[in-house]
Structure 1
Amino acid sequence: METHPLYGELKITRKKSGYSRGKNGYEHILFATLNILIEEGYNSISFRNIAKACDMNVGNVNYYFSSKQELIRQLLEAIIGHYEDEFDKSLDQDGIAAEDRLRAYITIVLEDIKTKKTTRLFPELWVLANQDSFVADRVEALYRRARTYLNKIILDLNPDLPAKERETLALFLSASMEGMTTFAGYNKPWADHMELIINITTKSFLDLVKNITVNDISALSNSKKS
């Protein structure tokens, strides 16, 4: 893991080709890009601005990354990798009950929402995903991989729930937490209520996941038709 003093960790996989030209060049560029994305927005990301932030010339940036898309791809992979490692460390340990894994998942996600990186980065990516199919694919991949942990937890807590309903429930839980970014993220009006939000989320999610049945969902659908 590589650490930025303001924005925490990224799981950076060093490129074999060209890395010898500068021990920290590859990481430096990725963190500079992350900084620009958070502080100034996606439209400010250019090789020229990145080179200036890294105190190098544009050719050096282009040496490590052949295009802006490749650079964004590597940055998002580093972000995804960090979250996967966090989930692995907290959720995939033997002997941890499913309820405790769900509590841990909720805490990881909502505590992360409080950080400046997450509050600034993800809304920027959500907007950009509506305009750029490449970014949309990478963002969906990030959330899809994160939801695999929720799917496993739901399966353990409610093994009778069919796969389609389980996956949709995981989507609902994930989206419900991500929506808190607007209200309780970094410097947001409800940021100081996060501990209470975590407790409410844990209680409501546990009740929902353990008790919902496919018949409950079907009954709600049928009531709309009648």
Structure 2
Amino acid sequence: MSLSLDEMLTQLSGHDSPNELYGVTAPSAKSRATVEKVLEEAEAVLAEEGVAGLTFRALARRCDMRLSNLQYYFATQEDLLTAVTRYILVRRLSELKARGPLGLIEAPQRFTAYLEFRMERAADPKAQAITTGLRDLALRQDGPARHVAQICRFHTDLIEAMIAALAPETPSQEIRHKAVMIAALVEAVGPTCGRLFDRPEGLRSAILSQARSIVGLPA
């Protein structure tokens, strides 16, 4: 059984553990605030400079911390990069929750609003830079790769559930195929072709129309 949005948020953030935050040991309010600050700055670095900018020394300077203090929380580079990945994914899921498309009662409106939200975020230049960074991390390190894969499966499972609600008579294998196709369509709005690629005019509306057609809704 796939996790709900709230369950995924809890798992990624570690907020259910009093001694852990984003996989980092942080038993006190002060330590949790420090971890949040470091990861907020790390996200900014990822957006501005990419993975190459995420060094301990650069981040320590940016946070006005001693290098030893930073390494107290993040013992290795992979610990830092994994925590950054979890932090960014939680922020994105939190925005999805706040915008509320998954809370819409009618299945067609829920499906459309969800896809519109995903494509809107994918088209945002800062979000694209961060997504590029996350994908780079997922290719380099097992920790980030594990969580990026987890979130990709989560979104595909969400689409499956929405298709099942729209067309409950559809065989499960066909639902899966449609969900994978729609997930791939949404990814086309993102930074797949790099920051200098000019996306065709009307791409988002065309993707939404095609996705609705795939699940049997009027385009």
Report if TM-score (shorter chain) is over 0.5: yes
Secondary structure at 1:130 match in 2: helix
Q: Distance in 2 between matches of 1:183 and 1:104?
A: 23
User: Counterpart in 2 of 1:93?
Assistant: 103
Secondary structure at 2:151 match in 1: helix
After TM superposition, give the deviation of residue 86 of structure 1 in Å: 3.6
Secondary structure at 2:75 match in 1: coil
User: Counterpart in 1 of 2:185?
Assistant: 176
Contact map agreement 1:42 1:124 (CA 8 A) in 2? yes
Q: Does residue 70 of structure 1 match 2:76? A: no
User: Counterpart in 1 of 2:47?
Assistant: 38
Contact map agreement 1:18 1:64 (CA 8 A) in 2? no
User: Counterpart in 2 of 1:27?
Assistant: 36
Bigger drift between 74-83 and 25-34 goes to: 74-83
Q: Distance in 2 between matches of 1:114 and 1:32?
A: 22
What one-letter code is carried by the residue in structure 2 that aligns with 1:210?
A: G
**Identical aligned pairs, as a percentage?**
21
Picking from 90, 99, 102, the partner of 1:81 is 90
Write out the 4+ residue segments of structure 1 that deviate beyond 6 Å after TM superposition.
183-187
Contact map agreement 1:114 1:185 (CA 8 A) in 2? no
Bigger drift between 197-206 and 175-184 goes to: 175-184
Q: Deviations over 1:16-35 (max 9, x none)?
A: 73544457321110011112
After TM superposition, give the deviation of residue 69 of structure 1 in Å: 2.0
Q: Deviations over 1:21-68 (max 9, x none)?
A: 457321110011112222222133221111011111112212222222
User: Counterpart in 2 of 1:208?
Assistant: 214
Q: Does residue 198 of structure 1 match 2:208? A: no
Bigger drift between 45-54 and 130-139 goes to: 130-139
Q: Distance in 2 between matches of 1:22 and 1:101?
A: 39
After TM superposition, give the deviation of residue 12 of structure 1 in Å: 8.5
* CA 73–129 in structure 1, closer or farther in 2 if over 3 Å, else same: closer
Secondary structure at 1:107 match in 2: helix
Q: Deviations over 1:154-178 (max 9, x none)?
A: 1111222222332232122112111
After TM superposition, give the deviation of residue 140 of structure 1 in Å: 0.8
Across the aligned residues of Structure 1 and Structure 2, the Cα RMSD in angstroms comes to 3.0
Q: Distance in 1 between matches of 2:136 and 2:35?
A: 27
Contact map agreement 2:178 2:214 (CA 8 A) in 1? no
Q: Distance in 1 between matches of 2:96 and 2:204?
A: 17
TM-score by length of 1: 0.74
User: Counterpart in 2 of 1:161?
Assistant: 170
Q: Does residue 57 of structure 1 match 2:66? A: yes
* CA 82–147 in structure 1, closer or farther in 2 if over 3 Å, else same: farther
Secondary structure at 2:191 match in 1: helix
What one-letter code is carried by the residue in structure 1 that aligns with 2:216?
A: K
The number of residues matched between the two structures is: 198
Q: Structure 2: which 5+ runs fail to align?
A: 1-12
